[in-house]
Amino acid sequence: MATSGNKNINAKLVLLGDVGAGKSSLVLRFVKDQFVEFQESTIGAAFFSQTLAVNDATVKFEIWDTAGQERYHSLAPMYYRGAAAAIIVFDITNQASFERAKKWVQELQAQGNPNMVMALAGNKADLLDARKVSAEEAEIYAQENSLFFMETSAKTATNVKDIFYEIAKRLPRVQPAENPTGMVLPNGPGATAVSSSCCA
Amino acid sequence: MDEEYDVIVLGTGLKECILSGLLSVDGLKVLHMDRNDYYGGESTSLNLTQLWKRFRGSDTPQENLGASREYNVDMIPKFIMANGLLVQTLIHTDVTKYLNFKAVDGSFVYKKGKIYKVPATDVEALKSPLMGLFEKRRARKFFIYVQDYDEKDPKSHEGLDLSKVTAREIISKYGLEDDTIDFIGHALALHNDDDYLDQPAIDFVKRIKLYAESLARFQGGSPYIYPLYGLGELPQAFARLSAVYGGTYMLNKPECKVEFDSSGKAIGVTSAGETAKCKKVVCDPSYLSDKVKKVGKVTRAVCIMSHPIPDTNDAHSVQIILPQKQLGRKSDMYLFCCSYAHNVAPKGKYIAFVSAAAETDNPEEELKPGIELLGPVDEIFYHSYDTYVPTNNQEEDNCFISATYDATTHFESTVMDVLEMYTKITGKTLDLSVDLSAASAAAEN
């Protein structure tokens, strides 16, 4: 996918939102869509990586799902650590989930990095008859808090790819230096390289 | 909460989190609780506000130290042997993908009031003033023997049965001087005291091999690696593994009282009036204080500084071993320093620790020789804790209690305890060695 001259950007993306808002299904829809051939193997269903090409760059998302740790307010600080983007998900048929989404935005503003790209996803947009949160209300909230807002449906795929594309477009093109990547352990020279260097 | 679990784990220290992760991966239904509102228990890393709350009884640190959230001050400072058991466990569980590591710049040893770099290359070894020229030749022969030693290949044993011969005997065979023995035993084999000299040499030899293999692994200036953002990331990462495999997490649960049936077997845990049932309880010593006994005490100074430790080539991360004999003690003291280079402090700040198994009741006086090596400090906190080991029989009460983190400088004994507990809980042995090569093969693809 990456053409030479294009920038490669690695971006950690975290999902937040109420239990049942549809975080995991959004990710599954996104990664099982037309990019399925690039999907890397995962343990459980809580860590995906997916590559997207936007105009001037190739963005590799490392997508973190909450793995259920939000249920009893037990998400670890490491979840937010170094995240370049976040999708805060609520269910448009559930007013309480929208109120919870606002709490997650506050939490991110307190814990996350200040340049984080934040998207607000009003999920289950296919269930129009059961709508409890108006698009206007969510849009106003998003603008006031420097988020961008989209209504999505993991079921029909509406706007799912679009929200990830929009994030990819908005990511800063220069990776912040404050978040250096360390070594990858399994790539070490391995256990067989024995050195006799001590005082030899 | 009113469900039945296979295992309830109490406390989110590193040991409990590794076990929770391994057990969830095995398909057991795990509930993991902690009385604190943060992960890590005793092995957490604190920000500045938390540090002040714990040691100064206030939550307003001075502003000139920088932002509280940029600090991750380890409560159990240790480095990770690059080829040791913790790395094998991280690879086995694939938890490495949640973490970033960096090599530790240097490893030093204290001798007659000065500190010297533990040689990391042949050139450094030749130049090192730690030994005279003839002693270097004798030591070289010993290291070649250690390097070639292969437990499975009797030809490499040179007629010595290391499960019977003591470390003292093998050292005397090579005619090494006392200072050299001190250096090898404490700065390379990382023994905390001299008890090893009269024990079978096999452990001593394996520890030196581990040091050399770890040193070779990332071609750094030390055999150690350390995670960005501090050791508090480790329990969080293993907790995430557990959650991904279905483990349920509840922090900030007061009390966490283990319930027993009439025969003394653990059957559940009660918190805030709700009881969750379980078949087994896994916990740190603080949750079952009547089933543990005190075995020692660790004493520590935690320092915030604006400069690296003097005479360490301005290392941003470093370990210095002060062997017991050099200080007239019964066990070693060690210094541990990390900095903004590992994202544990704001730019320009260093966190240094001086640790030892307590031999007196006066930590300030006892740790003085180590603290004097640091130069001026911005802030210093003293901190002592008792160490406990379990006294119960898990077959009678279904309780599996970890031992308190000891004063060693790295995680080998920590993971040994975890692996032994895993075997007691499941009846299975965790084979880490196979997975290490599998992980390397996967990385090549």
Q: What is the CATH number of the domain that holds B208?
A: 1.10.405.10
Q: Which of A55-64, A90-99, A104-113 has the highest mean pLDDT?
A: A90-99
Structural domain including B325 reads: 53-105+294-387
- Which residues of chain A does B233 touch, with a Cβ-Cβ cutoff of 8 Å? 78, 81
Nearest CB neighbour to A189, from listed B125, B216, B251: B216
pLDDT exceeds 90 at position A104:
yes
Environment class of residue A39 by beta-carbon count within 10 Å: exposed (0-12), middle (13-18) or buried (19+)? Answer: middle
Give a yes or no: residue B90 inside a domain. yes
Give a yes or no: residue B440 inside a domain. no
Nearest CB neighbour to A78, from listed B98, B147, B437: B98
The half-sphere exposure of B94 on its side-chain side, counting CA atoms within 13 A, is: 15
| Higher pLDDT pick, B410 / B439 | B410
Whole-angstrom distance, CA of residue B421 vs CA of residue B410: 19
Q: Both ends of chain A: CA-CA distance in Å? A: 48
Strand partners, B275: B270
Strand partners, B250: B33
Give a yes or no: residue B66 inside a domain. yes
Q: What's the CATH code of the domain at B96?
A: 3.30.519.10
pLDDT exceeds 70 at position B389:
yes
- Note the pLDDT of residue B445: 37
- Which residues of chain B does A183 touch, with a Cβ-Cβ cutoff of 8 Å? 100-103, 218, 225
Give a yes or no: residue B48 inside a domain. no
Please say whether the beta carbons of B244 and A67 come within 8 A: yes
Structural domain including A16 reads: 7-170
Give a yes or no: residue A40 inside a domain. yes
pLDDT single digits (tens) B331-346: 999 999 999 999 999 9
- Note the pLDDT of residue A187: 41
Tell me: do B204 and B139 sit in the same domain.
yes
Strand partners, B9: B32, B282
Tell me: do B192 and B129 sit in the same domain.
yes
What is the band of A170 on the pLDDT scale with cuts at 50, 70, 90?
very high
Whole-angstrom distance, CA of residue B245 vs CA of residue B20: 10
* Chain B (159-188) residues lying within 8 Å, Cβ to Cβ, of chain A: 188
Indicate yes or no: CB of A76 within 8 angstroms of CB of B147: no
Q: What's the CATH code of the domain at A164?
A: 3.40.50.300
Tell me: do B24 and B62 sit in the same domain.
no
- Note the pLDDT of residue A80: 87
Indicate yes or no: CB of A196 within 8 angstroms of CB of B143: yes
- Judge whether A177 is closer than 8 Å to chain B, CB to CB: no
Average pLDDT, chain B: 92
- Judge whether A114 is closer than 8 Å to chain B, CB to CB: no
Tell me: do B62 and B37 sit in the same domain.
no
- Note the pLDDT of residue A198: 39
* Chain B (303-332) residues lying within 8 Å, Cβ to Cβ, of chain A: none
Q: Pick from B47, B176, B183, B240 the residue to mutate for testing the A interface (most A CBs within 10 Å).
A: B240
- Note the pLDDT of residue B253: 95
How large is the average pLDDT for residues B305-312? 96
- Note the pLDDT of residue B64: 87
Residue A197 has phi, psi (to 5 degrees) of -70, -25
Q: How many domains does chain B have?
A: 3
What is the amino acid identity at position B244? V
- Note the pLDDT of residue A33: 62
Nearest CB neighbour to A68, from listed B118, B147, B243: B243
Give a yes or no: residue B126 inside a domain. yes
Nearest CB neighbour to A182, from listed B94, B100, B246: B100
Give a yes or no: residue A18 inside a domain. yes
Residue B93 has phi, psi (to 5 degrees) of -90, -5
How large is the average pLDDT for residues A107-128? 89
- Note the pLDDT of residue A46: 60
Percentages of chain A per state (helix, strand, coil), in multiples of 5: 30, 25, 50
The fraction of chain B above a pLDDT of 70, given in percent, is 97
- Note the pLDDT of residue B121: 82
DSSP string, B243-286: HHTT-EEE-S----EEEE-TTS-EEEEEETTEEEEEEEEEE-GG
CA of A59, closest CA in chain B: separation in Å? 18
* Residue of chain A whose alpha carbon sits nearest to that of B234: A78
Q: In what order do the strands lie in the sheet with A7-17?
A: A47-54, A57-64, A7-17, A85-91, A117-123, A148-151
- Which residues of chain A does B102 touch, with a Cβ-Cβ cutoff of 8 Å? 182-183
Indicate yes or no: CB of A190 within 8 angstroms of CB of B217: yes
pLDDT single digits (tens) B203-245: 999 999 999 999 988 877 899 999 999 999 999 999 999 999 9
Task: List all residues 6 or more positions away from B238 whose beta carbon is below 8 Å from its beta carbon.
Answer: B14, B17, B18, B20, B21, B93, B95
- Judge whether B30 is closer than 8 Å to chain A, CB to CB: no
Q: How many domains does chain A have?
A: 1
CA of B52, closest CA in chain A: separation in Å? 19
pLDDT exceeds 60 at position A36:
no
pLDDT exceeds 70 at position A89:
yes
Tell me: do B148 and B237 sit in the same domain.
no
Tell me: do B122 and B133 sit in the same domain.
yes
Give a yes or no: residue B223 inside a domain. no
- Note the pLDDT of residue A186: 54
* Residue of chain B whose alpha carbon sits nearest to that of A194: B213
Tell me: do B404 and B380 sit in the same domain.
no
Tell me: do B310 and B169 sit in the same domain.
no
| Higher pLDDT pick, B219 / B269 | B269
pLDDT exceeds 70 at position A25:
yes
Give a yes or no: residue B92 inside a domain. yes
- Note the pLDDT of residue B408: 86
Tell me: do B188 and B244 sit in the same domain.
no
- Which residues of chain A does B144 touch, with a Cβ-Cβ cutoff of 8 Å? 196, 200
B215-235 burial: b if 16+ Cβ within 10 Å, else e: bbbbebbbbbbbbbbbbbbbb
Nearest CB neighbour to A77, from listed B121, B216, B236: B236
Measure the CA dihedral B99/B105/B107/B110, to 10°. -130
Q: Which of A188-197, B148-157, B393-402 has the lowest mean pLDDT?
A: A188-197
Q: Pick from B22, B100, B256 the residue to mutate for testing the A interface (most A CBs within 10 Å).
A: B100
pLDDT exceeds 50 at position B443:
no
How large is the average pLDDT for residues B373-383? 95
Token pair belonging to A54: 């936007």
pLDDT single digits (tens) B270-291: 999 999 999 999 999 999 999 9
- Which residues of chain A does B217 touch, with a Cβ-Cβ cutoff of 8 Å? 188-191, 193
Give a yes or no: residue A178 inside a domain. no
What is the band of A184 on the pLDDT scale with cuts at 50, 70, 90?
low
Tell me: do B213 and B142 sit in the same domain.
yes
Give a yes or no: residue A194 inside a domain. no
pLDDT exceeds 50 at position A37:
no
- Note the pLDDT of residue B58: 83
- Which residues of chain A does B250 touch, with a Cβ-Cβ cutoff of 8 Å? 72, 74
Give a yes or no: residue A44 inside a domain. yes
How large is the average pLDDT for residues B49-76? 90
- Note the pLDDT of residue A154: 86
Boundary of a domain, candidates B387, B418, B435: B387
- Note the pLDDT of residue B441: 43
Give a yes or no: residue B161 inside a domain. yes
The half-sphere exposure of B424 on its side-chain side, counting CA atoms within 13 A, is: 21
For the stretch B420-427, contacts whose Cβ atoms lie closer than 8 Å and that sit 24 or more positions apart, written own/partner, are: B421/B15, B421/B19, B421/B282, B422/B19, B422/B22, B422/B23, B424/B394, B424/B400, B425/B7, B425/B19, B425/B23, B425/B280, B425/B282, B425/B400, B426/B23, B426/B26
Indicate yes or no: CB of A46 within 8 angstroms of CB of B97: no
CA of B238, closest CA in chain A: separation in Å? 11
Tell me: do B189 and B140 sit in the same domain.
yes
- Note the pLDDT of residue A40: 37
| Higher pLDDT pick, B238 / A194 | B238
Q: Are strands B399-401 and B274-283 parallel, antiparallel or unpaired?
A: parallel
ipTM, two decimals, is 0.80
Tell me: do B329 and B380 sit in the same domain.
yes
pLDDT single digits (tens) B13-40: 999 999 999 999 999 999 999 999 999 9
pLDDT exceeds 90 at position A182:
no
Indicate yes or no: CB of A196 within 8 angstroms of CB of B241: no
Give a yes or no: residue A183 inside a domain. no
- Note the pLDDT of residue B440: 46
- Judge whether B70 is closer than 8 Å to chain A, CB to CB: no
Q: What's the CATH code of the domain at B31?
A: 3.50.50.60
Nearest CB neighbour to B240, from listed A67, A72, A188: A67
